[in-house]
Structures are given as C-alpha cells and as structure tokens.
Amino acid sequence: MYCNTLKNTCYLLTIINLLNYSGRMDADLKALEEKLSHLISVCNDLRQENAQLRLDLNVTQADAAVLKAHMAQASERIETLMESLP
C-alpha cells in the first residue's frame, strides 16, 4: 500500500496500478524466462552438434590423407609400369 508518510494517506488507485504492473511484469518475466530457457537449450544442442561435426571432420580429414597416400603410391606404380613398357 502506498502511503504518504507526512499525511498517512493511502491511495487505492496507486495500489491497484502497482498490482497490475506487477502482474504484467511477472508475465513478461515468465515469457523472458521461457525464451531464455529455449535459447540455452538450442545453444547446448548446437554445442553438441558442433562437437560431433568436429569429430566427423577429423575422421574425414584422416581418411582423405590415407586416400591421398594411396593415390600417390598408385601413381608411382603406374609410372614404373609405363617405364618398363617397350
């Protein structure tokens, strides 16, 4: 209750407005809390996905290096065979 300390007068409309404001503010805070919760969940999902993508990338890069080495060996063998042809 809002009271004037000098006159000890309380204003009912002020109290009602404060209650309405508080209710609206609570609703806004609840909506914000839900949005933040969703954002945190999405961020966590993206972190997990990024970690998995990094692992997949490392595996793919290792596979590419092995394939590149195999291609180099095959190329050397072909060159050797071509040199031995009459």
- List the structure tokens of 9: 């007068």
pLDDT tens digits, 16-71: 565 666 777 888 899 999 999 999 999 999 999 999 999 999 999 999 999 999 99
- List the structure tokens of 51: 């970690």
- List the structure tokens of 53: 């993508």
In Å, what is the CA distance from 10 to each residue of 4, 5, 6, 19, 25? 6, 9, 11, 15, 23
pLDDT tens digits, 40-55: 999 999 999 999 999 9
In Å, what is the CA distance from 5 to each residue of 1, 2, 8, 9, 10? 12, 9, 5, 8, 9
SS3 5: coil
Q: Which amino acid is at 57?
A: L
